[in-house]
Chains A and B, each alone.
Chain A
Amino acid sequence: MSVYMPTTVDQAVALLAQNPGACLLTGGTDTMVEVNFNHLKPGTVIGLRLVSSLREYTITPQLIQIGAGVPYARMETGPLAEALPALAAAARTVGSPQIRAAGTLGGNLGTCSPAGDGLPVLAALDAVVNLRSPRGIRGVPFQDFMVGVKRNSRVSDELIESVSIAPTSGYQDYAKVGVRNAMVISVASVCLVHDRHTASVRVALGAVGPTIIRAREAEAWLATQVDASTSLPPDEAVAIEFARRVAAEARPIDDHRSTADYRRHAIQTLTRRLYLRSTK
């Protein structure tokens, strides 16, 4: 195994071009577990911790851009948390303080686990994943980026550089069920984003399918029931039916962490609660 520690994106991209299939590493909180278990035996590792531009973010009224190497700890509070409360909530549920100091959105995207806490937020916010290669930058909408369990559409010479998010106006939140009160992998999670600009309510589900699931049919139904260009009505019946429809779009399985039935139930419950929270 060889390890490279580039200091600029250009260096990183060049190294990746020379070593296609190299393992990209920032916090290492997920990848290194795979390495420790011998599930992953990378020949080449490109460490991105010293690439300072990846650790930057910009917030403008038109666009929020978050470097792939920004650690979760910096999303929990401060300008990013104010701009994207759902991301802050998701970041807070990631691992522990040590993990949040190291873990990044780039890592979540690179691994593409359906239980990745940052991913439902990116899905609900219609984020675009910016991939850098010698050919330039390719922006891929999140829904096209994640294509299966731990599979994404990144080509082997592409570096996940950042995500771009159009600011929304309205309530957004993330909630996740785990069996422990902290430091736990998601059994089911929901991100709900209300955007008055686009008059939409968007919901994305984690850990209940091979990919993050956008509940598009339920979103479309809700659009026929409420006027999302203004405050959402605190209508319990709407919340219940919306939640039922969202849960119907989940595709959960039984495993050692939980059961499909419970996961669907949790999605329904969390969706109803988040909708009602959004109306307060």
Chain B
Amino acid sequence: MKNSSTTTRSQSREVLGTSALRPDGVAKTQGDFAFSSDFQAENMLWGATLRSPHPHARIVSIDPTDAWRIPGVETIIFADDVPGQATYGLIASDQPVFAQNVVRYMGEPIAAVAADHPETCRRALAAIKIVYEELPVLFDMDLAIDPSTPPIHPDGNVFRHQRIISGDPDIVGDVIVEGTYDIGMQDQAFLGLEAALAYPDPGGAGVELVVATQWLHEDRKQIADCLGMAPEKVRLVLGGVGGAFGAREDISLQVHTCLLALRTGRPVKVQYSREESFFGHVHRHPGRIHLRHHADRNGKLLKVEGWMKLDGGAYASTSSAVLLNGITHLQGPYACDNSRLEAWATRTNNPPCGAMRGFGVVQACFAHEGQMDKLAVALGLSPVEVRLRNAMKTGDKLFTGQVVDSVAPVARCIRETDAIPLPAEPAYGTGSLELPGGSGRTSDPSHIRRGIGWGVSIKNLMYSEGFDDSAEARCTLADGVATLKFATAEVGQGFVVLAQQIARTILGVDTVVLDAIDTQIGSAGSTSASRQTWMSGGAVDGACRLVRERLFEQVAHVHNLNPLQLAVEGTDIVDTLGPLRVPVSEASKGLRIEETFLHRHRPTEELDENGQGNCHVAFAFVAHRAVVDVDTELGLVKVVQIATAQDVGQVLNPLTLLGQIEGGIAQGLGLAVMEEIVVDRGVVKNPSFTDYLLPTALDAPDVVAIPIEEYEPLAPLGAKGVGEPPCISVTPAIVAAIRNATGRDITRTPVRPQDICLPT
């Protein structure tokens, strides 16, 4: 099993701008890649977690006597066994490692057991007797906001309340449209289930954890706090990550696994099933958004007013940051001066929600794009025209007062998407698998109506609101081989290939070795917020440039030249003012140059009470046009084509970029027509892949994607993050296309068959 590897290719150089192959491709296609679930250790125990069956209950008593009697059970731990801080959390530390007296959501951990076999664990969990007294379930956001509702947590029932007021909030437009929009709870549903293996140090002085995560250093900090250890006593190694999409930003099994290992003095492995995974990680916030858009007679936006409510569930996770993103993106990618907006993130007894690709902007975009379509109808304009008339440009001011100084090719994204040819009219036979209903053979061509819809979005890149965000990388050059070290979590996005491309381009080497991804170097920050190309890419770029400078100094010294006149050309160092040409491999022979670089983005600020402040770093934009076929009578949908043009700054690896775009679109499609965690009064009804439906290959549409390349001067490589934008405006585009096909004012996503074909 090998997770880091070397690739050497001589025929064509895999530098920036090429579809360089992933270094992990060989291992991943041969079954050799070590996912976190693949690790085993000598003398290893298995761990498992006992979870609450109730969304809200008082724990009256716990009796583990029978469980202790089961042969093979090595330890059972509860809240009282947590040596350090009893709670954890990314922003607010409010989530108990184990519930103490009360459980606040279905699936909340209460105890963990370590035993010789998973089956022993299962029996032990079943043998722990817990008496619950069920409490009233707070499941409604409005009740949570209502100050007269008793708090279900000492920190109260509202994670954050934020207001934005800008310009003239009392201005009234010639045309006013209004709508209320609902968004269901989506799951990240990565395929690689949570798994970790902890190795205790002798005497329990420290612990090493192999885990699939998005952010090694933040995990380490939270784990160390809960273990009551110094962070350097906790060493994290990235186990192969089977997708993340935000769900691995919070702690899940990390602390439990370390505790079990330290308690037993033996390596312990914990591995979730799919069902447990649904309870073990946070989800995308469901929400309700009400907006009123004011425009003048020409369709120019005058004001956006309204409110947004996101349900954060039982614990804080990143709710406050998601809410910030949500409210600051209600404007959409449109120029407008005046606003009056208010937003709440609530605490309820529903499943905790936090990061998922798009992070609050998915919800905001679903609402503002619904509004733009209403505006188009009210003004008699096409969906394209109303968006073009309001498209944001570089230099425009956001509702927060922040000036958009990123490249902002919104109009170009819309125009280029609009220019993509529409797909051919359907030529299906009865019961064709390409018809809505697919293999169910429900539909005949005569039942199908085609619809077209639009979605355009703005997405902030990197972290916001004053977060001290940085990424570190180290580059070592020796004998023509570059070695890179970073703690950047590779979760599938392909940073490993990008890092190699950067080193090849900057240093003129072909062989780039990637060191293990662990905490033996400074933090790279999280693989989220579309930030790693910019942040860790910037760090690798910086480290390589420092190494190159020193190499130039060496060469200049030997040849008595000014290092400033040297450059890398292909795999050679050349004198730009003279005939010298030395291969990098030769110039670096016998040398060992090592440099570390810390990349920081420019600082941001918190919002004031009126929502004013430069809270974001930079922005990216994208347009989506969806074509759908709808069986209007049965309410079944087939998404035929998604056309998209995305503001990417620079294309660094065309096929990797396409993979992000197409993958994001599939997730946005899921939220549009099939993916929803169904929660009834705090109880999750569908925690399995049988009933939580992910798009299959038959559901995925044709994608025609155009990258819009306008070099972003703010970004180290001129390239913007590309991970999140693909999944944001595709959802409203698909829902708009369904509205277009059916004539129905659909205001919730995912759209269920009954929303299309039954009376409301």
Contacts and interface: CB of A to CB of B under 8 A. Distances in A.
A and B touch in their complex, CB below 8 angstroms = yes
Interface of A: 33, 36-38, 89, 92-93, 173-185, 187, 189, 255-259, 261-262, 265-266, 269-270, 273, 277
Interface in B13-33: none
B431 to A, nearest CB: 8
B436 interface: yes
B430 A180 contact: no
A185 B691 contact: yes
Contacts of B686: 256
Interface in B124-165: none
A38 B753 contact: no
A257 B680 CA distance: 13
B442 A182 contact: no
A265 B633 CA distance: 9
B753 A262 contact: yes
Contact of B753 (A36, A92, A177, A273): A177
A265 to B, nearest CB: 6
B586 interface: no
A207 B708 CA distance: 48
Interface string B257-280: 000000000000000010100000
B430 A277 contact: yes
Contacts of B430: 277
B717 to A, nearest CB: 39
A89 B754 contact: no
Nearest to A33: B690
A266 B754 CA distance: 10
B449 interface: no
B635 A181 contact: no
B757 interface: yes
Nearest to A266: B634
B754 A259 contact: yes
Contacts of B680: 256
A269 B633 contact: yes
Secondary structure at the B interface, as helix, strand, loop or mixed, is: loop
B683 to A, nearest CB: 10
B41 interface: no
B352 to A, nearest CB: 20
Contact of A179 (B122, B275, B433, B674): B674
Nearest to A259: B754
B758 interface: yes
B678 A256 contact: yes
Interface string B733-760: 0000000000000000000111001100
Interface in B682-730: 685-686, 690-691, 693, 695-699
B696 A261 contact: no
Given A176-B442, A181-B436, A181-B698, 5 more contacts: A175-B441, A177-B442, A179-B636, A256-B678, A270-B634
Contacts of B438: 178, 180-182
Interface string B653-689: 0000000000000000000011000101000011000
A52 B254 CA distance: 49
A175 B430 CA distance: 11
A132 to B, nearest CB: 31
B638 interface: yes
A92 B432 CA distance: 12
Nearest to A272: B633
Nearest to A263: B754
A31 to B, nearest CB: 14
B494 interface: no
Contacts of B754: 258-259, 261-262, 265
Contacts of A261: 754, 758
A179 B693 contact: yes
Contacts of A184: 440, 693
A178 B636 CA distance: 8
Contacts of B685: 255-256
Contacts of A183: 696
B440 A178 contact: yes
Contacts of A178: 437-438, 440
B753 A37 contact: no
Contact of B693 (A36, A180, A189, A262): A180
A127 to B, nearest CB: 21
A217 B215 CA distance: 63
Counting chain B CB atoms within 10 Å of each CB, the highest count among A92, A175, A256, A270 belongs to A256
B634 A177 contact: yes
Nearest to B693: A180
A215 B431 CA distance: 24
A89 B436 contact: no
B394 interface: no
A33 B698 CA distance: 24
Contacts of B633: 269
B753 A180 contact: no
Contacts of A262: 635, 752-754, 757-758
B520 interface: no
Contacts of A185: 690-691
